[in-house]
């Protein structure tokens, strides 16, 4: 079996099939009402313990904001009105407690669903969650929470949501395999941030494996071996060991600077999606955060995060980083990253539509709330703001007017923030790379977003598996745009970084160093390897190859040429 390797590493372990459970409830007539109410009470007390446990684990693993959902669940479980209605149904209709729970919760769910108020409407999802938990317990069904995994396992699922991945016990998760998704899907980004080997796009895997089967996954190549032979297990265990040795060598570079062989200094930072990821970046020697994808704060929930919630999340990271830079990117949703509660229009061309800065400039209420939260957090660290999907000079001018207005508001309210905070843009639309000289006059920095820059330059949807072979990091057109962006940024005296996946590509790092890229931002797990490559490459020497590389006709030619330039780790 094969899929797309989305997070490097080898995983060996038992399969944990993760399928949201179907709960079927039948109506039964009962005689002993008291006994039935006892069953109900026992079920509620078990559910209550489960919710407490989930709260604690999420608080420890993820954070307070995400854990709060379980406080809401507890309140629903203990709601006197709901409880009285269920009890009443059991006694008056002499039915089993499962049936009563199902009927009563369905009634309340439909009540809430009809309410106009978005917030109350969303409560119906919480009631559904809580009642499903209670029904599962009453029916004696097995727990399917990812948090219940307690041995070395490989998770197999259709896909994982950000809140699923947030609940993973990293130490014992050997790997993740999903039917959907690709290299730049958010499951992929999360898996890389957490250094969990992962494979996506494995068609029908759920139909082919059983809970408890044994499996090996190779996150480098996307290869899966179901129920491997003894020889195969031995071979992969040896490879895993070698990787661990390599990791040990790399660990020695943790406190070192990212200095090239000929003394040119660059910065290697981490990309994060949630405040929790920052620990991983620091453990791996990250020199800052080059991209905080704030959209995770907005996803997988039922309403917009408040200014306070956002402020808390940004402040935690800013404080942990201290003087080191923290680049917070404003909301990048729309298109394929949906926010159901915003009721965004359905679009024909997801990636060319109403997303990121386009949405923020239209929904200024959302944008201003986020800017206030980021600016307030800037009083606690070295915060910079970055805007995604910019495609015209007018947009950046409009953005700057709003930033100024929000700053003025904070000054009037005597709320502290960093007056000199830097503003930058993602260079991920080819128009901006081509016009980068003009853009550089408007902002303090650039960060090249190669994930989107490649998709827009090559007209290849980054998530479409049918054309995945056309999505190529080494395409000479893309590399020429990157060179143009770096040169133009430097001509206007601003620094240029990169936070797309290409920044951690082992063959491309020497080339970008040669081009003069100032900052490389990537998943935490790639940082030390990137530092090793920088420290074993001479900028001067690579510079002499650039003209030749950029004039090669095909991506394959480029990749082959670069293969000879990238330093390999010597394990002996």
- Contacting positions for ligand PEP (CB under 6 A): 184, 291, 293, 332, 428, 449-452, 499-500
Measured from the CB atom, the residue of 11 and 305 that comes closer to ligand PEP is 305
Asked whether 66 and 163 are in contact (CB, 8 A), the reply is yes
Instruction: Identify what 499 binds: ligand PEP, Mg ion, none; CB under 5 to 8 Å per kind.
Output: ligand PEP
Question: Is 499 among the catalytic positions?
Answer: yes
Total number of residues binding Mg ion (CB under 5 A)? 3
Q: Site mask, Mg ion, residues 388-427, x = CB under 5 A?
A: ----------------------------------------
Name the binder of 184 from Mg ion, ligand PEP, none, CB < 5-8 A by kind.
ligand PEP
* Residue at token pair 């890389």: 192
As measured in angstroms, the least distance from the Cβ of 293 to Mg ion is 9
Residue 69 or residue 357: which is nearer to ligand PEP going by CB? 357
Q: Which does 450 bind (CB under 5 to 8 A by kind): ligand PEP, Mg ion, none?
A: ligand PEP
- Taking the least distance from each CB to ligand PEP, the nearer of 96 and 504 is 504
Note if 360 is an active site residue.
no
Q: Which stretch binds Mg ion (CB under 5 A): 2-10, 61-69, 109-117, 441-449?
A: 441-449
> C-beta of 219: minimal distance to Mg ion in Å?
22
In sequence order, what DSSP letters do the residues of 507-527 get, joined into one string? THHHHHHHHT--EEEE-GGGH
Q: Other C-beta atoms within 10 Å of 74: how many?
A: 16
Give counts: helices (H), strands (E), the chain.
23, 16
* Residue-by-residue DSSP string for 126-176: HHHHHHHHHHHHHTTPPP--GGG--SSEEEEES---HHHHHT--GGGEEEE
Q: How far is the CB of 452 from ligand PEP (least distance, A)?
A: 3
Least spacing, CB of residue 451 vs ligand PEP, in Å: 3
- Residue 174 or 452: which CB sits closer to ligand PEP? 452
- Report the C-alpha gap between 528 and 286 in whole angstroms: 8
Chain length of the chain: 572
From candidates 98, 287, 452, 519, binder to Mg ion by CB under 5 A: 452
> Which of ligand PEP, Mg ion, none does residue 422 bind (CB under 5 to 8 Å by kind)?
none
Q: Which does 199 bind (CB under 5 to 8 A by kind): Mg ion, ligand PEP, none?
A: none
CB of 462 to Mg ion, least distance (A): 9
Write the DSSP assignment of 248-308 as a string of letters: HHHHTTTTS-EE-TTS-EEEEEEEESSTTHHHHHHHTT--SEEEEETHHHHSSSSSPPPHH
Residue 92: its H or E element:
helix 80-93
295 is a contact residue toward Mg ion (CB under 5 A):
no
13 vs 335 by CB, closer to Mg ion:
335
Query: C-beta of 86: minimal distance to ligand PEP in Å?
Result: 45
User: Rounded distance, CA 20 to CA 61, Å?
Assistant: 21
What is the SS3 assignment for 226? strand
Judged by CB under 5 A, the stretch of 130-138, 254-262, 395-403, 449-457 that binds Mg ion is 449-457
| Residues 154 and 11 sit within 8 Å (Cβ to Cβ) | yes
Distance CA 177, CA 155 (A): 6
Which CB, 5 or 449, lies closer to Mg ion? 449
Buried b (16+ CB within 10 A) or exposed e, 347-382: eeebbebebbbbbbeebeebbbbbbbbbbbbbebbb
CB of 7 to ligand PEP, least distance (A): 14
Distance from chain centroid for Cα 540: 36
CA distances from 390 to 48, 398, 433, 462, 485 (A): 47, 11, 11, 18, 14
How many Å separate Cα 409 from the centre of its chain?
Answer: 32
Q: Give the active site residue among 73, 280, 360, 499.
A: 499
449 belongs to the binding site for Mg ion (CB under 5 A): yes
CB of 535 to ligand PEP, least distance (A): 25
Question: Residue 293 binds what, of Mg ion, ligand PEP, none (CB under 5 to 8 Å, by partner type)?
Answer: ligand PEP
Residue in 73, 186, 280, 475 annotated catalytic: 186
Closer to Mg ion at the Cβ: 224 or 356?
356
98 vs 452, which CB is nearer to Mg ion?
452
- Burial class of residue 323, CB neighbours in 10 A (0-12, 13-18, 19+): exposed
Q: Which residues bind Mg ion (CB under 5 A)?
A: 428, 449, 452
- Residues involved in catalysis: 186, 499
């Amino acid at each position: 079996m094969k899929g797309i390797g989305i997070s490097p590493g080898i995983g060996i372990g038992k399969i944990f099939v993760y399928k949201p459970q179907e709960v079927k409830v039948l109506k039964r007539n009962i005689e002993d009402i008291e006994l039935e109410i006892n069953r109900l009470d026992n079920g509620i007390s078990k559910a209550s313990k489960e919710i407490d446990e989930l709260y604690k684990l999420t608080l420890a693993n993820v954070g307070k904001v995400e854990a709060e959902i379980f406080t809401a669940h507890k309140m629903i479980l203990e709601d006197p009105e709901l409880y009285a209605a269920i009890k009443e149904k059991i006694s008056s209709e002499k039915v089993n407690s499962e049936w009563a729970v199902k009927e009563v919760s369905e009634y309340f769910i439909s009540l809430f669903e009809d309410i106009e108020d978005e917030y109350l409407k969303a409560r119906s999802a919480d009631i559904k969650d809580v009642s499903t938990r209670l029904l599962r317990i009453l029916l004696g069904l097995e727990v399917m929470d990812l948090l219940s995994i307690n041995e070395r396992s490989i998770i197999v699922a259709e896909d994982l949501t950000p809140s699923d991945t947030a609940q993973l016990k990293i130490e014992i998760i050997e790997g993740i395999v999903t039917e959907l998704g690709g290299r730049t899907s958010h499951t992929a980004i999360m898996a890389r941030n957490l250094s969990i080997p992962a494979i996506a796009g494995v068609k029908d895997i759920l139909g082919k494996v059983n809970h408890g089967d044994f499996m090996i996954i190779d996150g480098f190549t996307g290869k899966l071996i179901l129920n491997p032979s003894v020889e195969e297990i031995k071979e992969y265990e040896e490879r895993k060991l070698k990787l661990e040795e390599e990791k040990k060598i790399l660990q020695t570079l943790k406190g070192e600077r990212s200095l090239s062989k000929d003394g040119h200094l660059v910065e290697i930072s981490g990309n994060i999606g949630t405040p929790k990821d920052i620990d991983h970046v620091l453990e791996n020697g990250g020199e800052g955060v080059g991209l905080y994808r704030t959209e995770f704060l907005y996803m997988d929930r039922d309403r917009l995060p408040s200014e306070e919630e956002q402020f808390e999340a940004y402040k935690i990271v800013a404080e942990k980083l201290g003087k080191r830079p923290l680049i917070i990117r404003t909301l990048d949703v729309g298109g394929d990253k949906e926010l159901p509660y915003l009721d965004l229009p359905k679009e024909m061309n997801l990636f060319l539509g109403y997303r990121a800065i386009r949405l923020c400039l239209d929904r200024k209420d959302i944008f201003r709330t986020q800017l206030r939260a980021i600016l307030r957090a800037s009083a606690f660290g070295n915060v910079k703001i970055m805007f995604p999907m910019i495609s015209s000079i007018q947009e950046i001018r409009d953005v700057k007017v709003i930033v100024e207005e929000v700053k003025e508001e904070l000054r009037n309210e005597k709320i502290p923030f960093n007056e000199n905070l830097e503003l930058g843009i993602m260079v991920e639309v080819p128009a901006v790379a081509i016009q980068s000289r003009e853009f550089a006059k408007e902002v303090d920095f650039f960060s090249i977003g190669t994930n989107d820059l490649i998709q827009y330059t090559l007209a290849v949807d980054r998530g479409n598996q049918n054309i995945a072979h056309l999505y190529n990091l080494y395409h000479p057109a893309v590399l020429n745009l990157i060179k143009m962006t770096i040169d133009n940024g430097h001509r206007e005296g601003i620094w240029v970084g990169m936070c797309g996946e290409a920044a951690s590509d082992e063959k491309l790092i020497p080339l970008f160093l040669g081009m003069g890229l100032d900052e490389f931002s990537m998943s935490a797990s790639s940082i030390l390897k990137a530092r090793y490559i920088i420290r074993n490459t001479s900028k001067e020497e690579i510079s002499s190859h650039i003209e030749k590389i950029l004039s090669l006709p095909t991506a394959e030619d480029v990749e082959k040429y670069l293969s000879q330039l990238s330093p390999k780790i010597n394990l002996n």
